[in-house]
Amino acid sequence: MKKYSIDHKTFPHSAIIDGGGKDSRKEAAFETASKLFCVTGVGCGTCNQCVKIKAGSHPDFFYIDEDSLKVDQARSIIKNAYTKPSEADFKFFIIDNAENMRVEAQNALLKAIEEPQNAYFVFLCENHRALLQTINSRCQVFSLPSEGENIANKQIADMAASFAPAFAGELALTEFFVKASELPRNVFPDFIFMCKQETYKLILSQPHKRGQFLSIYDHFDKLSEELVYNPNLFTLSLSTAASVWEIYNKDI
């Protein structure tokens, strides 16, 4: 499964990580912190800074996982943020379950995230819209792909391997596209993109079918347009299989 990675070099002092699952959000935040604290700057996982973060014993790193953060807890975080870091040049705060923070706690944290200081604040939640607009406007949002999308992307990657063999016969090609119709609709554009990439590879590996594959390539562009209007992926996939097969067997 593709690991989501955030560029730590441009990481802002206030951020929201949403989407994905609870574990993947936490993992992305810990990974980013690790890269920022790491003595080698890559989040090596073995230096004393990385090890302390993983163990939860770094004096400048705080992972707060409260069910619903209250205003006095928010105030103690702010107080902490304004005191000098012990080992690093900055402190790093991760606030998990951010969507459950009390409104007063969110308002209290506003002050800390808008004033420049040596602290990072990362809020983890399912959907950034659950946080106050005032928090949102001061944070950069990083949205992780959902678990479902991750699985679908893996399916698409697997399907890429059976694209070229599907040209063995009309039945194989139909089966290939019927399988595609079972993909979630929101990842279907990625499927079409994969088909185009694979078609391009076929142009290079089977130059005698160049004309046919170029037409098939164009057909995938049309398919992207049709996807907008055609609500039924199954019908769309079947008609695509038929058209692609017809083009493949044309004399061009």
Token readout for 137 is 């406007």
From 6, 28, 33, 38, residue interacting with Zn ion (rule: CB under 5 A)? 38
- Residue 63 C-beta: closest distance to Zn ion, Å: 17
Alpha-carbon distance 194 to 137, whole Å? Answer: 36
Q: Which stretch binds Zn ion (CB under 5 A): 44-52, 144-152, 164-172, 220-228?
A: 44-52
- Residue 7 C-beta: closest distance to Zn ion, Å: 17
Identify which of residues 61 and 167 has a Cβ nearer to Zn ion in the complex: 61
Identify which of residues 38 and 187 has a Cβ nearer to Zn ion in the complex: 38
Give the CA radius of gyration of the chain: 25
**CB proximity list for 27: less than 8 A, separation 6 or greater:** none
- Residue 44 C-beta: closest distance to Zn ion, Å: 4
Identify which of residues 63 and 220 has a Cβ nearer to Zn ion in the complex: 63
Q: Which stretch binds Zn ion (CB under 5 A): 22-30, 32-40, 63-71, 119-127?
A: 32-40
Residue type, 242: A
Q: Which stretch binds Zn ion (CB under 5 A): 38-46, 56-64, 99-107, 188-196?
A: 38-46
CA 122 to chain centre: 17
- Spell out, one character per residue from 50 to 69, where the chain touches Zn ion: x when CB under 5 A holds, - when not: x-------------------
Identify which of residues 50 and 194 has a Cβ nearer to Zn ion in the complex: 50
Q: Does residue 164 touch Zn ion according to CB under 5 A?
A: no
Residue 84 gets the label, from left (phi > 0), alpha (psi -120 to 50) or beta, of: beta
DSSP annotation string for 5-63: ---GGG--SEEEEEES-HHHHHHHHHHHHHHHH-SSSS--SSSHHHHHHHHT--TTEEE
From 11, 26, 27, 44, residue interacting with Zn ion (rule: CB under 5 A)? 44
Alpha-carbon distance 130 to 110, whole Å? Answer: 15
End-to-end CA distance of the chain: 40
Q: Does residue 47 touch Zn ion according to CB under 5 A?
A: yes
- Residue 38 C-beta: closest distance to Zn ion, Å: 3
Identify the DSSP state of 87: S
* Total residues binding Zn ion (CB under 5 A): 4
Query: Contact residues for Zn ion (CB under 5 A)?
Result: 38, 44, 47, 50
